[in-house]
Chain A
Amino acid sequence: MIAAGSGDPQGDAQVRRAARWGADDLTVRYGARLALDRVGLEVPDGGITAVVGGDGAGKTTLLRALAGAVRPAGGGVRRPPTARVGYVSAGPAVYRDLTVHENLAFSGGAYGLGGERLSRRAAGLLERTGLLAARGRLGGQLSGGMRQKLALAMALLHEPDLLVLDEPTTGVDPVSRTELWRLLAQAAAAGAAVVLATVYLDEAARAAGVLVLDEGRTLLQGPPGELVARTPGTLLDAPARPDGAAAQGWASWRRGSRWRLWSPDRSAPGAGTEPVAPDLEDAVIVASLARRRPRELEEAAA
């Protein structure tokens, strides 16, 4: 099954049909802290799904639950046996004092891979990740982008059904990011279900499906095109913030040197403003505003 990125009704129906892997009403607690509050996620085979949110939104907890490393307090996860999962944690996911080749051999051993199959997979992945020339270099001597590619290669060795990656591109430059996404697309094209966490909304917009987390809860979920199309209210672009915009119930934020104005129920507030088509960044800001200040907005609009 493929998640459709377009807003066509057939595609949406495909996305909404439950995928093999995912989470249902997942609740996770760390002591008194509620890290995830009834979160649902579908990770379709043959597609890339993005989990996006700021630090502390619950992305890592959700991915760790999918990898089987976190016990739910409520709800559950649908996941293949651990041997069929590939997991790349955030932060240092390679051994710094082992060479590139040794990292791959070690990881292959952990997944029960050896002999001919390990050599063949390792050689293919070194080629595809562009790490062939660096195979004798120590993990600690690699650049950030190379290290992430090695970590991904280690998780891909055993051809997992479900590939789980925690912020593989944070701090990675656009050139390495493009290369990483090509590797993810190759895995998805071969049928794997791929889910990654990211802090970059423009990156999430490239996934077939997106889950936006906010303080452990679902803020938005669906194909990016559909989330944008569903943005409620009126969104305007303006060169400056009109006087009294807030008093008239308009929320406002900057976009480059210009302003965005949004209201759940008003039309244009005055001259110089133009309706503008939202992008994913706008859609998420609107959803955050609608969640965090429903009363303020109601009062302002009254």
Chain B
Amino acid sequence: MLIKKPVDIPYSEVTPKALYIRRREFIQAAAAGAIGGAVGLSPLAVERLTAQGRAKLPNVRKSPLSTSETANSYEDATGYNNFYEFGTDKEDPKANAQRFNPKPWTIKVEGLVKNPATIDLDTLIKPYALEERIYRMRCVEGWSMVIPWVGFPLADLIKRLEPQESAKFVEFTTLLDPSRMPGQRYPVLQWPYLEGLRMDEAMNPLTLMVVGLYGETLPNQNGAPIRLVIPWKYGFKGIKSIVRMRFTDKQPRGSWEVAQAREYGFYANVNPNVDHPRWSQATERRLGEFRRRKTEMFNGYGAQVASLYAGMDLRKFY
């Protein structure tokens, strides 16, 4: 029998878990402190610069449209992200978006709309009562989470903007600023990121303009300060850090569609029967679970959205 000597490290020398998990922030903060010291900023100012800026959102209502499924942890939802503007690895956005400052922020509204305008974000949000919507989120890569988003229906915003009769689609654009979004310095995708919805999809009560999660303001890596969430579509349709909304009569071509039209279509509805050309979409792994689970048609939101696609061949319009 092989009897091994236990590793001889006193427990007092083990880095406490909480500190260990935040080691990158710690190192960044230390580095920022050094830089701050050099340029004469007070340690407090540096702290504010590097802090995540987490803040509770007031008066958030619960919504009957929420799922009763258990939500993933805050760490899962904010530490495992696809946001190529901040890097292509899942941990990149959290690491690289810390210093991104989403304030001030304006959204340009243009195209086939009664009042084209550039609207300050606070003004844009002000009329709406924020609600919490706990939604399933299915990534085209085959994993999923349950996330408590905070936002307001896109439909409410569109009604206020009064698009013209001829507007059939609404197109969204992400901020283009390689100095603040380092991932844009390399043409992995067509920058700025672009996505679009058919007008009836945009008006569906499930479609949410999101400004927060877990009752707090939206972290940078999740698309601060404002993003879109369409729970019956693959996650990439949920465009982040939106700076422009354009109403149009032509179907927009999203960044992923431009990159690989055969793999990423305009509709991108979650559909276990239509595979991605390179992998199956029949199952998914809910983060935190070991075994794969079956993927549901329209991500389980068929009752609310199936009618939008009545009579359409979803193999053709994927």
State yes or no: do A and B come from one complex: no
Q: Which residues of A contact B (CB under 8 A)?
A: none
